Structure 1
Amino acid sequence: MLYLCLKYLHIIAAIFLFGFGMGSYLYLIAASRTANPQVIAHVARMVVRFDTWITTPAGFIQIITGYALIKLAGLPLSTDWVLTALIIFLCVGSLWLPVLVLQKRLCRMASSAVATGEALDDGYASVYRQWFWLGVAGFAGMFVIVLIMVTKMTPAQWLGLLL
Structure 2
Amino acid sequence: MASTALVLAIFLGAWVVLLHGYHWLPEVDAQRHAIVSYLLRGMGNELPEMAYLNPAEAFHLLDVRQLFARVDRLFVGVLACCLLLLYGWKRFAGGCLALHSGYLGLACILLLGLLMALGGFVPLFVLLHYWLFPAGNWVFPDDSLLIRLFPLDYFFRFGLVYGVVVLGMFVGLIVWGHTRGRLS
TM-score, with length taken from structure 2: 0.34
TM-score scaled by length of structure 1: 0.37
Q: Which has the higher contact order (CA 8 A, sep 6+)?
A: 2
